[in-house]
Structure 1
Amino acid sequence: MSTPGWITGCAGSDVVPVEGRPLWRGPRPAWIVGDTLAYRVVHDEAGMLRLAVVGDCYATDAQLRQGLGAVTRADWRALTGWPGSYWVVADDGRRTVVLTDVAGTRPVYYTFHHGGVVWASAATPLADLTAAPIDHAALVARMVCPTVSEVTGTGTVFAGVHRLPGGHALHLGAGRIQPYEPETQKATFEQAAEALREALVVAVERRAASAARLSADFSGGLDSTSLALLAARAGYEVFAVTRDDPTSANDDVLYARCAAAGEPRVRHVIVDESEHGLFFDRMDAAPHTDQPYTDAARWSMRHAYHRRVLDHGSDLHLTGSGGDTLLVASPSYLADLARLGQPRELLRHAVARARLRHQPVHSVLAAAITLAYTSYPQALRRLAADITQPPARWERPNASRRLHWCGSSSFAAWLTPTARDQLAQRVLATAATTDLGGVPISTHRAWCELREFGAYQAELTAQLRATGINAHAPFLDNAVVRAAMSIPVSQRQSTTVQKPLLGAALRGLVPDFLLHRRTKGAYDGNAYTGIRRNANRLHAILDDSYLVQAGIVDHAAVRADLDRLIAGAPGRLAALETLITTELWLSRHTSRPPARVWRTEEPAHA
């Protein structure tokens, strides 16, 4: 793998990256590798206090110098309040502290080597350093229950290589990881809307001001379209791209046309690339990622319309990625309404949910009330039971299965009995020790889902940038995330609009017809068309499956479901994406030539 630019450092180790340039030297050195990452370093006059920001940080030089005061006070959270998306590396003379962002889109990995700790923003170089094998148990956990952080833990696909969760700091010298972002709720809806408005405007305008040629996704949905309109409203020309997918029926293009018509600074382009833009098309052409990445199956679909962005010469591309995860509540919010004694609200929302899912209202109400009185350890034990005995045949989930604190992917149905039992035992072990410390279950789950999306976004951003798209996701900036997560989960859902908090935040800045949109584009038609067109390739991948040979997946079970999907019947589509993309990643990783990434030298002393 040709790893894009990355940062690394160590404490108590004698390794040095072969192509690294030092951010600073000393007993806890740090380096930057490659020339694709922007970075700035400030230090005090004595050189004892040092602070580096790496990535897309829009702090002024004066603000960075003021950040040295936060380093002195060990106020690590204060170093994460600037606009942008970036890593922070700080050293106070006694320890180095490495911070990922709140959502985890700027990943930090670490491993133990020769009595010391080595960290990096990519896992593969650390795996090269330690000759780490594939960690099958961690891989299965992430395929089946990726948002259940108690089960996935800090593990990665590489044995002995750990990932720092979003909102956490790695303390070198002290040898520990510690959260800097609390899972608390402290704002009213109005306060959160005001904070979200300010954070989004700043996030977009700082980026637009830094770009020579600005482009944006312009799907017609609330997220990407709103960001492009904010940039245009601030006076910047925006090359806006909408994908018209004739294989899937939705009204995205109509909303995109209407939104563009009212803003002269938006140069709107509609792209129909259905011939080369289907699920599972040209997967071998997709850039390899640091970790397995489920969206790789959609690479051709995304790249088909992003070619217009490349032709335009864009140097910064806005996306709405993260908006859904951040601003739409999981259906489990109904349990909060039940637990808080809001029967009228519960009934109103249950009726809307029942109509959406074509289910009886009484079954939705019963599921919500049952969940309200389900503890988190009980939910984990139920997850273990579901993994142990998944349905043999695909069926539409009923209300009780759709409302859960921590559900498993339908991938569990494809596991061999041994793999299933091992994962279930792992889940049960966490159920015996889990303690949320008073944090509401819905809040904790929202953070888990956001941080899992952050891990996904890290690979998406790396893949897009490998193709020349300098993609940015303002919805995942720290200030934006904090504003959205500062209210109870149930307040992020409405029976009349898609995203009530976003609508309140952008009122007057974005047209009302867009903020009040009640439909959402779906691309199932593209997926099924892609499966049919690539059926032979999918069968070939399954017949040569690493996961089957490793005793993890049952070949016959997968083949039955694959044939069902090829025939156009509803089935385990998301699980198929996970399987195929994981197989491709494993095939590339296991066949890659050895890489010389590290060398050794005598460690420096203070």
Structure 2
Amino acid sequence: MEFVVLPDHPAADEVSARIPEEYRKKVLRHHSGRPWLVGNWPANAAVCVGAGPSKIALFGAARTTERELLVQLGKVRTLRDLDGIAERTAGSFHLVASINGLVRAQGGLSGARGIFSTSFAGITVAANRISVLGELRRLTVAEDQLALRLLAFTPPWPLSERSVWREVDSLPFAHYLSVRPDGTAEQIRWWDPPAPERPAGLAAPELREALVAAVAARTGAQPAVGADLSGGMDSTSLCFLAAEQGGGLVTIRRRLMDPTNCDDPVADRAAADLPGAEHIVLDKDTASPYYESPDRDDLAMDEPPPFIAMASHMEDVARIMASHGVTRHLQGHGSDELAATGTTYVNAMAQRSLLGSLGMIRAMRARRRWSLATTLRVVRAFPPYAEWLQRSADELLRPPDVESEVGWEPTPRLPPWASGEAAALVRDAMNRTAGTDPQPMSSIPTQHEILRCIRVNGWIVRFANTLGERFGVSFEAPFLDDRVVETALSVRMADRYVAGRHKPVLAAALRGTVPDYVLDRTTKSHFTVDVYNGRKRNLAKMREMCEESRLADLGLIGRDGFRRALSSAMPDPMHMGPLEKTIACEAWLRSLPARTGPQAP
């Protein structure tokens, strides 16, 4: 699905005519008659209504009808009045409106549905895909932003919000794009995180209601919906919520190679408790290995992807779901992050009551083997965000250690194969940004960290959908929906942690629908064996990528250091994540030639 948003400006006709035919299957118009929305979208993926000079379109999974949306639109007089529609409508969608010639365009809080803009023919042009904008003007890669994508974890806020293309602006977290009839635009903040003051007893029913509505937004009139059934609390809970909605359910899971994994027995039991569903199980003989085709050059992605190891598996899931008539597939992304009780949570509790949080601090220290010095760093007040960012810029090349867990975000680290030029670019970008005194997404570090992780998961879903759309399948993450995120953030800090319990608020919210043996789990399996096996199987391809490295040609990594990391018989576990980031950037760079567009007039 692609669409372009145009202002109510005379140049809109010219821009519309320049858009290739494949992206111009449908056209919606402003009240003036000028083109407003130009694109190609399935009929069941959009709800569009209009009343006089006011028009609105929701693209994606929105729990509303044309009739309901028209009633709400009738109450809208200004762009800010659209806040209510964005807040009350369950699901994940783009909201685009034309109100008396003014345009508003936005995605959700997670960024799973992004909005990007550029200047063309003297006006601001927005779209849900950068590739469409690349058809209008030639885009060039910003090398400092590409270098930032080599960091372990993700670029720090707000650098994580910036486009890797010089000519493109990404709509940042909690903002909408306002485009005036003269073609100029402004990014306007429309949402702020709630205060964490709701007792769990009140928040849990609200969280349940939000999750039920989020799943219902995906099921709706669908004849069948797909879902992961890993055995973990997150995806398994979504399966039971989807089954409660009625309709067909097709689940899929991948058996782990680790013989000690504890997910499969739970998944087997859950499948037996979902007798009306069809269950598909992939094993080592039927599942694509991790890192299958790492040297691919067909990533239709607007930016370097967040992962490459599971790309072939995600395509397998989409292909299988499509063969079963499924167009929407549920995944559990975001649940872990919404219930996070890591270092920033311990810090928040210590700031409220050091004495009252001593038990939690002792337990965390024992589990993570912190030194006394590290423990003191965790519990004392963090520095202002800009100061933390500036300090982090000086530590880019330090080896990762337990100290890097402490702060507003995981401390940014470049891998040892990054070049001095890459380090200089990243350091300069971070220092320049720190100099603007950026404010965190929330003044409470743990809330900021949760939102950062929600944005990372949104990025993952966005990439998954570029893979799934080739098969007509949309990957959906109900835990990332605005209402679910807001409700989870509103929970009182002290109620988020219960010793010996896992995600206590979510468990309370879903008790009675999801079996206790799922909600009461305190263990979780991992994919380490699968990852190492896939790496070994595809290592030759990765080495070829190293020798032909475009990142090395750009001077951002050292080919020798990259080669050494790939050649290790047993690579350092701390390097596995950065290795995947580097390989993902390489694969993305290989995909660029087909994405270049004509020079702008």
Q: TM-score, normalised by structure 2?
A: 0.90
Q: Output the amino acid matched with 2:557.
A: V
**How many Å apart are 1:442 and its aligned residue?**
2.6
Alpha-carbon deviations, 1:105-142, whole Å to 9, x = none? 11100012232101000012213322111111122223
Distance 2:371 2:66 in 1: 57
Q: Output the amino acid matched with 1:22.
A: V
Distance 1:569 1:445 in 2: 26
| Structure 1 segment 145-224 matched on structure 2, within 5 A | 146-153=154-161, 155-173=162-180, 175-185=185-195, 187-224=198-235
**How many Å apart are 1:401 and its aligned residue?**
2.0
Q: Output the amino acid matched with 1:77.
A: D
**How many Å apart are 1:516 and its aligned residue?**
1.3
Q: Which of residues 485, 489, 499 in structure 1 aligns to 2:489?
A: 485
Which residue of structure 2 aligns with residue 18 of structure 1?
Answer: 20
Query: 1:105, 1:166 within 8 Å by CA — same for their partners in 2?
Result: no
Which residue of structure 2 aligns with residue 603 of structure 1?
Answer: none
Residues 29/188 of structure 1: CA separation in 2 closer, same or farther (3 Å cut): farther
Distance 1:77 1:68 in 2: 11
**How many Å apart are 1:304 and its aligned residue?**
4.2
Q: Output the amino acid matched with 1:325.
A: E
Which residue of structure 2 aligns with residue 126 of structure 1?
Answer: 133
Q: Determine helix, strand or coil for the equivalent of 1:214.
A: strand
Alpha-carbon deviations, 1:188-228, whole Å to 9, x = none? 33332221100111222343342112221100011111011
Query: 1:10, 1:30 within 8 Å by CA — same for their partners in 2?
Result: yes
| Structure 1 segment 383-398 matched on structure 2, within 5 A | 383-387=392-396, 389-391=397-399, 397-398=401-402
Residues 455/339 of structure 1: CA separation in 2 closer, same or farther (3 Å cut): same
| Structure 1 segment 92-103 matched on structure 2, within 5 A | 92-103=99-110
Query: 1:55, 1:87 within 8 Å by CA — same for their partners in 2?
Result: yes
Query: 1:215, 1:240 within 8 Å by CA — same for their partners in 2?
Result: yes
Q: Which of residues 272, 295, 310 in structure 1 aligns to 2:307?
A: 295
Which residue of structure 1 aligns with residue 35 of structure 2?
Answer: 29
Query: 1:271, 1:305 within 8 Å by CA — same for their partners in 2?
Result: no
Q: Output the amino acid matched with 1:578.
A: K
Distance 1:194 1:76 in 2: 26
Q: Output the amino acid matched with 1:195.
A: E
Once the two structures are overlaid, the 10-residue window that deviates more, 513-522 or 268-277, is 268-277
Residues 208/435 of structure 1: CA separation in 2 closer, same or farther (3 Å cut): closer
Structure 1 unaligned blocks of 5 or more? 601-606
Q: Output the amino acid matched with 1:386.
A: E
| Structure 1 segment 327-366 matched on structure 2, within 5 A | 327-345=339-357, 347-357=358-368, 359-360=369-370, 362-366=372-376
Q: Determine helix, strand or coil for the equivalent of 1:321.
A: coil
Q: Determine helix, strand or coil for the equivalent of 2:216.
A: helix
Residues 356/301 of structure 1: CA separation in 2 closer, same or farther (3 Å cut): farther
Which residue of structure 1 aligns with residue 54 of structure 2?
Answer: 49
Distance 1:11 1:138 in 2: 32
Query: 2:63, 2:89 within 8 Å by CA — same for their partners in 1?
Result: yes
Q: Which of residues 427, 441, 457 in structure 1 aligns to 2:445?
A: 441
**How many Å apart are 1:247 and its aligned residue?**
4.5
Which residue of structure 1 aligns with residue 67 of structure 2?
Answer: 62
Residues 202/152 of structure 1: CA separation in 2 closer, same or farther (3 Å cut): closer
Q: Are residue 378 (structure 1) and residue 387 (structure 2) matched?
A: yes
**How many Å apart are 1:289 and its aligned residue?**
2.1
Distance 2:298 2:311 in 1: 6
Distance 2:215 2:552 in 1: 46
Which residue of structure 1 aligns with residue 148 of structure 2?
Answer: 141
Corresponding pairs, count: 582
| Structure 1 segment 263-274 matched on structure 2, within 5 A | 263-274=274-285
Query: 1:286, 1:300 within 8 Å by CA — same for their partners in 2?
Result: no
Q: Output the amino acid matched with 1:385.
A: D
Once the two structures are overlaid, the 10-residue window that deviates more, 85-94 or 261-270, is 261-270
Residues 379/412 of structure 1: CA separation in 2 closer, same or farther (3 Å cut): farther
Distance 1:312 1:519 in 2: 32
| Structure 1 segment 310-321 matched on structure 2, within 5 A | 310-321=322-333
Residues 495/539 of structure 1: CA separation in 2 closer, same or farther (3 Å cut): farther
Which residue of structure 2 aligns with residue 588 of structure 1?
Answer: 591
Query: 1:127, 1:158 within 8 Å by CA — same for their partners in 2?
Result: no
Once the two structures are overlaid, the 10-residue window that deviates more, 549-558 or 21-30, is 21-30
Alpha-carbon deviations, 1:335-376, whole Å to 9, x = none? 11221123342x33233333433x146355223124x24332
Query: 2:205, 2:509 within 8 Å by CA — same for their partners in 1?
Result: yes
Q: Output the amino acid matched with 2:339.
A: L
Which residue of structure 2 aligns with residue 254 of structure 1?
Answer: 265
| Deviating 4+ runs (over 6 angstroms) | none
Once the two structures are overlaid, the 10-residue window that deviates more, 267-276 or 544-553, is 267-276
Distance 2:587 2:133 in 1: 21
Distance 2:594 2:532 in 1: 32
**How many Å apart are 1:568 and its aligned residue?**
4.8
Which residue of structure 1 aligns with residue 249 of structure 2?
Answer: 238
Q: Are residue 76 (structure 1) and residue 82 (structure 2) matched?
A: yes
Once the two structures are overlaid, the 10-residue window that deviates more, 143-152 or 415-424, is 143-152
Alpha-carbon deviations, 1:38-76, whole Å to 9, x = none? 2232222xx211111122222122321122245314323
Residues 33/517 of structure 1: CA separation in 2 closer, same or farther (3 Å cut): same
Q: Determine helix, strand or coil for the equivalent of 2:178.
A: strand
Q: Are residue 368 (structure 1) and residue 378 (structure 2) matched?
A: yes
Q: Are residue 549 (structure 1) and residue 553 (structure 2) matched?
A: yes
**How many Å apart are 1:495 and its aligned residue?**
3.6
Q: Determine helix, strand or coil for the equivalent of 1:31.
A: strand
Distance 1:326 1:111 in 2: 33
Q: Determine helix, strand or coil for the equivalent of 1:198.
A: helix
Query: 1:219, 1:253 within 8 Å by CA — same for their partners in 2?
Result: yes
Q: Output the amino acid matched with 1:447.
A: L
Alpha-carbon deviations, 1:312-334, whole Å to 9, x = none? 33233222122223332443211
**How many Å apart are 1:454 and its aligned residue?**
1.5
**How many Å apart are 1:177 and its aligned residue?**
0.3
Q: Determine helix, strand or coil for the equivalent of 1:420.
A: helix
Once the two structures are overlaid, the 10-residue window that deviates more, 574-583 or 233-242, is 233-242
Query: 1:334, 1:490 within 8 Å by CA — same for their partners in 2?
Result: no
Structure 2 unaligned blocks of 5 or more? none
Distance 1:142 1:296 in 2: 13
Query: 2:235, 2:332 within 8 Å by CA — same for their partners in 1?
Result: yes
Q: Output the amino acid matched with 1:8.
A: V
Q: Determine helix, strand or coil for the equivalent of 1:119.
A: strand
Residues 262/408 of structure 1: CA separation in 2 closer, same or farther (3 Å cut): same
Distance 2:279 2:374 in 1: 42
Q: Output the amino acid matched with 1:117.
A: T
**How many Å apart are 1:518 and its aligned residue?**
0.9
Residues 563/349 of structure 1: CA separation in 2 closer, same or farther (3 Å cut): farther
Q: Determine helix, strand or coil for the equivalent of 1:43.
A: strand
Q: TM-score, normalised by structure 1?
A: 0.89
**How many Å apart are 1:233 and its aligned residue?**
2.9
Distance 2:260 2:323 in 1: 28
Q: Determine helix, strand or coil for the equivalent of 2:71.
A: helix
Q: Output the amino acid matched with 1:150.
A: P
Distance 1:208 1:502 in 2: 21
Query: 2:306, 2:463 within 8 Å by CA — same for their partners in 1?
Result: no
Distance 1:216 1:328 in 2: 23
RMSD: 2.7
**How many Å apart are 1:379 and its aligned residue?**
1.3
Q: Which of residues 484, 495, 501 in structure 2 aligns to 1:497?
A: 501
Residues 168/460 of structure 1: CA separation in 2 closer, same or farther (3 Å cut): same
Q: Are residue 114 (structure 1) and residue 121 (structure 2) matched?
A: yes
Percent identity for Structure 1 against Structure 2: 25
Residues 31/220 of structure 1: CA separation in 2 closer, same or farther (3 Å cut): same
Query: 1:410, 1:575 within 8 Å by CA — same for their partners in 2?
Result: no
**How many Å apart are 1:539 and its aligned residue?**
0.8
Residues 368/585 of structure 1: CA separation in 2 closer, same or farther (3 Å cut): same
Q: Determine helix, strand or coil for the equivalent of 1:386.
A: coil
